[in-house]
Amino acid sequence: GAKYRGEFEERVQKVLKEVSEHQGEMILFIDEVHTIVGAGQGGGEGGLD
């Protein structure tokens, strides 16, 4: 998990950068993507749930 606000977003950006550097060589599959949409926003608001 991410301790600090913004840490999750940094991790996702690193993963997306890695995927974009290997276009056509890998497939990124994110299971339960709806649970991470809005993650790190803080407060009591969820994602799309």
pLDDT digit string, tens, across residues 11-41: 889 999 999 999 889 888 989 888 877 665 6
Predicted local confidence at residue 24, as pLDDT: 87
Q: Residue 49: pLDDT band by 50, 70, 90 thresholds?
A: very low
- For residues 1 and 34, the model is more confident at 34
Predicted local confidence at residue 23, as pLDDT: 87
| Domain assignment present for 19 | yes
| Domain assignment present for 35 | yes
| Domain assignment present for 49 | no
| Domain assignment present for 47 | no
Dist CA 46 CA 43 (whole Å): 8
Number of domains present in the structure of the chain = 1
Contacts 24+ apart (CB under 8 A), 1-10: 2/39, 2/40, 5/40, 5/42, 6/40, 7/40, 8/36, 8/39, 8/40, 9/40
Residue 3's domain comprises 1-40
Residue reference for tokens 């940094």: 10
pTM above 0.75, yes or no: no
